[in-house]
Amino acid sequence: MMRSHTKGFTLIELLVALAIVAIIGVMAFGGLNQVIDQREVARQRVERWREIQLSMRLVMQDLVQLHPRPAREAFGEGHLPSVLASAQSQFALELSRGGWPNPAGFRRGTVARVAYDWEDDMLVRYHWPVIDRTPDTPPVRTELLDGVQNIEVRFMDAGGTWHTEWPPFEVSGPEQAVARPRAIEFAIELSDFGRVWRLLETSG
């Protein structure tokens, strides 16, 4: 009688097969990790861009509501122009804005005083509960966006000339307090997205 022999795998063949499977598993796991990392990076960039858009939208909402009402200085020595930006100013941009909603019916006007500044890589917005503030009227400070390296504001006058300060030097007298630019360009320099800017035509 002839014996039938059953042929199987040797131990060496099994070890080789396990090694191949392990290598494929490590490669697949590394690729999965890379996909997950890229997805997280994309999510962070989308979230960052959303923060930038929201901050710039708030700036534009203030600029589109420019109001000619000047503000009394804190110590009552004079009035600040309705739009103020100069090297001597406390803030990078300060302005009066109308359309301040009052759904609760507080005893206040609808014109607010707001300001923007750049502090420790942060874009900061200030607003006061009254437009004619005193030294005892603290502003409400809101941090809008981090990673800001610089703020640039430009103003176009009625003749189409751009200025980095407002009111322009050639404007004087009562007109200085209520002068409004024809257009405003508000730009921020970001550490990750570079220069982001918005150009707004005003009612001036």
Query: Residue 5: what pLDDT?
Result: 55
Alpha carbon distance 119, 58 (integer Å): 18
Query: Where do the domains of the chain lie, and which CATH numbers do they carry?
Result: 60-201 (3.10.610.10)
Tell me how far apart the alpha carbons of residues 158 and 79 are, in angstroms, rounded to a whole number: 23
The two three-digit tokens of residue 122, written as one number: 């942060």
Q: Which amino acid is at 29?
A: F
| Backbone phi and psi for residue 54, each to the nearest 5 degrees, phi listed first | -65, -40
What pLDDT does 9 receive?
A: 63
Got the DSSP string for 147-172? SEEEEEEEEE-TTS-EESSBS-TT--
Contact 184, 153 (CB under 8 A): yes
CB 165 within 8 Å of CB 88: no
DSSP helix/strand/coil, 143? strand
pLDDT of res. 85? 96
- pTM, to two decimals: 0.78
Q: What is the pLDDT of residue 108?
A: 67
CA within 13 Å, CB half, 41 = 7
Q: In the structure encoding, which two tokens stand for residue 85, read together?
A: 């930006």
Q: Nearest 5 degrees, angle CA 156-CA 68-CA 138?
A: 105
pLDDT of res. 196: 96
User: 140: Cβ–Cβ under 8 A, 6 or more apart, which residues?
Assistant: 126, 127, 128, 129
Per residue of the chain (204 residues), give pLDDT as tens.
555 555 666 777 777 777 788 788 777 777 777 777 778 878 889 999 999 999 999 999 999 999 999 998 888 778 899 999 998 899 999 999 987 776 666 666 788 999 999 999 999 999 998 888 888 889 999 999 999 999 999 999 999 999 999 999 888 888 888 999 999 999 999 999 999 999 999 875
Predicted local distance difference test score (pLDDT) of residue 104: 67
Beta bridge partners of 141: 126
Q: CB neighbours of 188 closer than 8 A, spacing ≥ 6?
A: 56, 123, 145, 148, 150, 151, 152, 195, 196, 197
pLDDT at 199: 96
Q: In what order do the strands lie in the sheet with 162-163?
A: 162-163, 148-156, 183-190, 194-201
